[in-house]
Amino acid sequence: MIIHVVKPGDNIYTIARQYGVPMTDIIEANELQNPDQLVVGQALVVPGGIRRHTVQRGDTLYLIARQYGVSLNALLRANPQIEQGGLIYPGQVINIPAPVSKIGSMEVNGYAFPSINMETLRKTLPYLTYLSIFSYEVRPDGSLSNVNAQPLIQAARNANVAPLMVITNIEEGGSFSSDLARTVLTNEQIQETLLDNIVEILQTENYYGLDIDFEYIYPEDREAYNDFLRNVRQRLEPLGYTVTTALAPKISATQQGLLYEAHDYPVHGELVDHVILMTYEWGYTYGPPLAVAPINEVRKVLDYAVTAIPSQKILMGIPNYGYDWTLPYEPGTAAEAISNTAAVIRAGQVGAAIQYDQTAQSPYYNYYDNNGRRHIVWFEDARSIEAKLRLVDEYDLGGVSYWTIGRYFPQNWQVLSAMYDVEKVL
CATH class of 2-97: alpha beta
DSSP assignment, residue 372?
S
The 10s digit of each residue's pLDDT in 130-166 is 999 999 999 999 999 999 999 999 999 999 999 999 9
The pLDDT > 90 percentage for the chain reads 89
What are the pLDDT digits (tens) for 36-45?
A: 999 999 999 9
Residue 394 CB contacts under 8 Å (≥ 6 apart), including other chains: none
Q: Is 200 a known active-site residue?
A: no
| Comparison of pLDDT for 117 and 81, the residue scoring more | 117
Residue 100: per-residue pLDDT: 65
Residue 407 has pLDDT above 70, yes or no: yes
Contact 420, 400 (CB under 8 A): no
Torsion angle defined by CA atoms of residues 382, 294, 96 and 417, in that order, rounded to the nearest 10 degrees: -50
State pLDDT tens for residues 92-112.
999 888 766 789 999 999 999
CATH number of 104-318+390-422: 3.20.20.80
Residues 192, 222: Cα–Cα separation, whole Å: 19
The Cα–Cα gap between 103 and 79 comes to 24
| Mean pLDDT computed over 380-401 | 98
Q: Do 320 and 403 form a contact (C-beta atoms < 8 A)?
A: yes
For residue 160, give the DSSP letter.
T
| Summary mean pLDDT of the chain | 96
Element (H, E) at 337: strand 336-338
Q: Which residue is catalytic, options 137, 215, 281, 380?
A: 215
- Return the domain boundaries, the chain: 2-97, 104-318+390-422
- Name the nearest CA neighbour of 227 among 184, 281, 178: 184
**370 in the Ramachandran plot: left (φ > 0), alpha (ψ -120 to 50) or beta?**
alpha
Each residue of 54-76: pLDDT tens digit?
999 999 999 999 888 888 888 88
pLDDT of residue 83: 76
Residue 243, strand partner residues:
210
**What confidence score (pLDDT) does residue 1 get?**
85
Q: What is the C-alpha separation between 216 and 181, in angstroms, rounded?
A: 8
Residues 6 or more apart in contact with residue 220 via CB below 8 angstroms: none
